[in-house]
Structure 1
Amino acid sequence: MRTNDKLSPTLSLTRRLRTTFVLLLLTAAMQALAQQPAQSRVDQLTDAQVEEFYRRAQASGLNEMQIETYAMSQGYTLDDIAKMRKRIANIRSQTSRPGSQTGIRGNNRLNNRGNTGTRGNVNEPSMESGRMLPDDLSQRDDSLQLLPRQDTVRKLRVFGASLFENASLSFEPNLRIATPRNYIVGPDDEISIDISGAASDNFQLRVTPEGTVKVPNVQPIFVSGLTIEQAEQRIIARLRKAGYQGLGVPGSGIDANVALTNIRSIRVTLVGEVVRPGTYTISSLGSAFNALYLAGGPNPETGSFRKISVIRGNRVVRTIDLYNFVLHADQRDNIRLQDQDVIRVADYETHVELTGEVRRPAIFELLPGETLKTLLSFAGGFGDDAYRASITLRRNTSRERQMVSITEDQIATFIPQRGDKYFVGKILERYENRVQVAGAVMRPGDYALGQGLETVRQLITRAEGLRKDAFTNRATIIRERPDMDHENLSFDLGKLMRGEIADISLVSQDSLTVFSIRDLREEYYVTIEGAVNKPDTIEFVNNMSVADLIAKAGGFQEGAKPTLIEVARRIRQDSVGIRTTMQEVYRFSVDPNLRITQFEGGPGTGSGGSSAFRLQPFDIVYVRTSANYEPQRQVHVYGEIMQPGNYVIFNREERIADLIRRAGGLKPEAYLSGAQYRRKGQLVGNDLRNLLTDPGGEENLLLKEGDTLFIPRRSEVVYIQGAVLNQSSVSYKADYNFNDYITESGGFTENARQSKAYVVYPNGRKDRTRRFLWANLRPNVEPGSTIVVPFRPDDDRNLSPTERIGIFSLIGTLAATTATVLINVLR
Structure 2
Amino acid sequence: MLVFVCLWGACVSALAQQTPSRVDQLTDEQVAEFYRRAQASGLSEIQIEQAAMSQGYTLDDIAKMRRRIAQIRSQTAKQNGQSVADTGVVRSLPGDLSRPYRNSRNMGRNSNLRDTSLLLLPKLDTLKRPVVFGASLFQNADKENTGSIFEPNLRIATPRGYIVGPDDEIIIDIYGASADNYKLRVSPEGTIKVQNLAPIFVSGLTIEQAEQRIIGRLRQAYQGLNRPGSGTYANISLGQIRSIRVTLVGEVVRPGTYTISSLGSAFNALYLGGGPNPETGSFRRISVIRGNRVVRTIDLYDFLLRADQRDNIRLQDQDVIRVADYEVRVELAGEVRRPAIYEVLPGENLKTVLGFAGNFTDEAYTASISLRRNTARERKILTISQEELATFVPQRGDKYTVGRILERYENRIQITGAVMRPGEYALTPGLTTVRELLQKAEGLRKDAFTNRANIYRERDNMDTENIPFDVGRLLKGEIADIPLLRQDSVVVQSVRDLREEYTIRIEGAVNRPDIYPFVNNLSVADLIALAGGFQEGASASRIEVSRRIRQDTVATGSPNTVKIFTFTVDKDLKISDGATQFVLEPFDIVAVRSAPFYERQQRVFVDGEVMYPGNYAILNRTERVTDLIKLAGGLKSAAYLAGAQFKRKGNLVATDLRKVLENPGSEQNILLEDGDSLFVSQKSEVVSIQGAVLNPVLVNFEQKFSVNDYIQQAGGFTENARRKKTYITYQNGRKDVGRSSRVEPGSTIVVPFKPLEESKLSPTERIGILSLIGTLAATATTLIINLSRAQ
**What is the aligned-residue identity percentage?**
58
Q: Is 1:444 aligned with 2:422?
A: yes
Q: Which whole-Å CA distance do the structure 1 matches of 2:450 and 2:465 have between them?
A: 21
Residue of structure 1 in register with 2:225 after alignment? 246
Residue of structure 2 in register with 1:63 after alignment? none
Give deviations 1:24-71, integer Å, cap 9, x for gaps. xxxxxxxxxxxxxxxxxxxxxxxxxxxxxxxxxxxxxxxxxxxxxxxx
Q: 1:172 aligns with which of 127, 138, 149?
A: 149
Amino acid at match of 1:159: F
The answer to whether the 8 A contact 1:171-1:289 is kept is no
Amino acid at match of 1:475: A
Q: 1:615 aligns with which of 584, 588, 596?
A: 584
Q: Which whole-Å CA distance do the structure 2 matches of 1:379 and 1:396 have between them?
A: 22
**SS class of match (2:457):** strand
Deviation at 1:591, TM superposition (A): 3.1
Q: 1:464 aligns with which of 442, 465, 481?
A: 442
Q: Which whole-Å CA distance do the structure 2 matches of 1:259 and 1:180 have between them?
A: 9
Q: Which whole-Å CA distance do the structure 1 matches of 2:415 and 2:245 have between them?
A: 75
Q: 2:325 aligns with which of 347, 350, 364?
A: 347
Q: Which whole-Å CA distance do the structure 2 matches of 1:708 and 1:367 have between them?
A: 102
Deviation at 1:432, TM superposition (A): 3.3
TM-score (norm 1): 0.57
Q: 1:591 aligns with which of 567, 570, 573?
A: 570
Q: 1:372 aligns with which of 346, 350, 354?
A: 350
The answer to whether the 8 A contact 1:679-1:708 is kept is no
**SS class of match (1:475):** strand
Residue of structure 2 in register with 1:332 after alignment? 310
Q: Which whole-Å CA distance do the structure 2 matches of 1:370 and 1:663 have between them?
A: 112
Q: 2:281 aligns with which of 295, 303, 318?
A: 303
The answer to whether the 8 A contact 1:181-1:227 is kept is no
Q: Which whole-Å CA distance do the structure 2 matches of 1:196 and 1:631 have between them?
A: 113
**SS class of match (1:335):** coil
Q: Which whole-Å CA distance do the structure 2 matches of 1:169 and 1:279 have between them?
A: 20
Residue of structure 1 in register with 2:130 after alignment? 156
The answer to whether the 8 A contact 2:545-2:588 is kept is yes
Q: Is 1:505 aligned with 2:474?
A: no
| 1:514-663 mapped onto 2 (5 Å cutoff) | 514-529=492-507, 532-556=510-534, 562-563=540-541, 565-575=543-553, 576=555, 580-597=559-576, 609-623=578-592
**SS class of match (1:403):** strand
Amino acid at match of 1:155: R
Residue of structure 1 in register with 2:266 after alignment? 288
Q: Which whole-Å CA distance do the structure 1 matches of 2:189 and 2:635 have between them?
A: 111
| 1:12-23 mapped onto 2 (5 Å cutoff) | none
Give deviations 1:681-740, integer Å, cap 9, x for gaps. xxx99999x9999999x9x9999989999x9xx9xxxxxxxxxxxxxxxxx9999x9999
Residue of structure 2 in register with 1:273 after alignment? 251
The answer to whether the 8 A contact 1:185-1:225 is kept is yes
Cα 1:426–1:412 shift into 2, 3 Å: same
Q: Which whole-Å CA distance do the structure 1 matches of 2:465 and 2:158 have between them?
A: 82
Residue of structure 2 in register with 1:400 after alignment? 378
Deviation at 1:556, TM superposition (A): 4.5
**SS class of match (2:312):** coil
Cα 1:337–1:589 shift into 2, 3 Å: farther
The answer to whether the 8 A contact 2:602-2:617 is kept is yes
Deviation at 1:611, TM superposition (A): 0.4
**SS class of match (1:550):** helix
The answer to whether the 8 A contact 2:224-2:232 is kept is no
Cα 1:637–1:336 shift into 2, 3 Å: farther
Q: Which whole-Å CA distance do the structure 2 matches of 1:483 and 1:611 have between them?
A: 63
Amino acid at match of 1:243: Y
Deviation at 1:415, TM superposition (A): 1.5
The answer to whether the 8 A contact 1:303-1:347 is kept is yes
What stretches of structure 2 of length at least 5 have no aligned partner? 1-116, 685-697, 702-709, 723-730, 734-738, 740-745, 747-763, 782-791
Q: Which whole-Å CA distance do the structure 2 matches of 1:340 and 1:642 have between them?
A: 115
Deviation at 1:332, TM superposition (A): 2.0
Between 425-434 and 636-645, the greater mean CA deviation after superposition: 636-645
The answer to whether the 8 A contact 2:413-2:487 is kept is yes
Amino acid at match of 1:618: F
Cα 1:321–1:635 shift into 2, 3 Å: farther
Deviation at 1:636, TM superposition (A): 12
The answer to whether the 8 A contact 1:249-1:255 is kept is no
The answer to whether the 8 A contact 1:596-1:611 is kept is yes
The answer to whether the 8 A contact 2:414-2:424 is kept is yes
The answer to whether the 8 A contact 2:118-2:256 is kept is no
Q: Which whole-Å CA distance do the structure 2 matches of 1:214 and 1:239 have between them?
A: 11
The answer to whether the 8 A contact 1:179-1:259 is kept is no
The answer to whether the 8 A contact 1:470-1:516 is kept is yes
Q: Is 1:490 aligned with 2:468?
A: yes
Q: Which whole-Å CA distance do the structure 2 matches of 1:634 and 1:470 have between them?
A: 59
* Aligned-CA RMSD value: 6.8
Deviation at 1:411, TM superposition (A): 1.9
Deviation at 1:377, TM superposition (A): 1.6
Cα 1:639–1:312 shift into 2, 3 Å: farther
Q: Which whole-Å CA distance do the structure 2 matches of 1:207 and 1:634 have between them?
A: 113
**SS class of match (1:461):** helix
Amino acid at match of 1:241: Q
Residue of structure 2 in register with 1:200 after alignment? 179
Q: Which whole-Å CA distance do the structure 1 matches of 2:356 and 2:671 have between them?
A: 87
The answer to whether the 8 A contact 1:633-1:706 is kept is no
Q: Which whole-Å CA distance do the structure 2 matches of 1:412 and 1:420 have between them?
A: 16
Residue of structure 1 in register with 2:7 after alignment? none
Deviation at 1:543, TM superposition (A): 1.2
Q: Which whole-Å CA distance do the structure 2 matches of 1:639 and 1:631 have between them?
A: 27
What stretches of structure 1 of length at least 5 have no aligned partner? 1-111, 123-151, 599-608, 715-731, 743-752, 756-762, 766-771, 773-781, 783-803, 822-827
Q: Which whole-Å CA distance do the structure 2 matches of 1:356 and 1:297 have between them?
A: 27
Give deviations 1:132-167, integer Å, cap 9, x for gaps. xxxxxxxxxxxxxxxxxxxx9953222223333468
Q: Is 1:428 aligned with 2:428?
A: no
Amino acid at match of 1:496: L
**SS class of match (2:149):** coil
Deviation at 1:456, TM superposition (A): 2.5
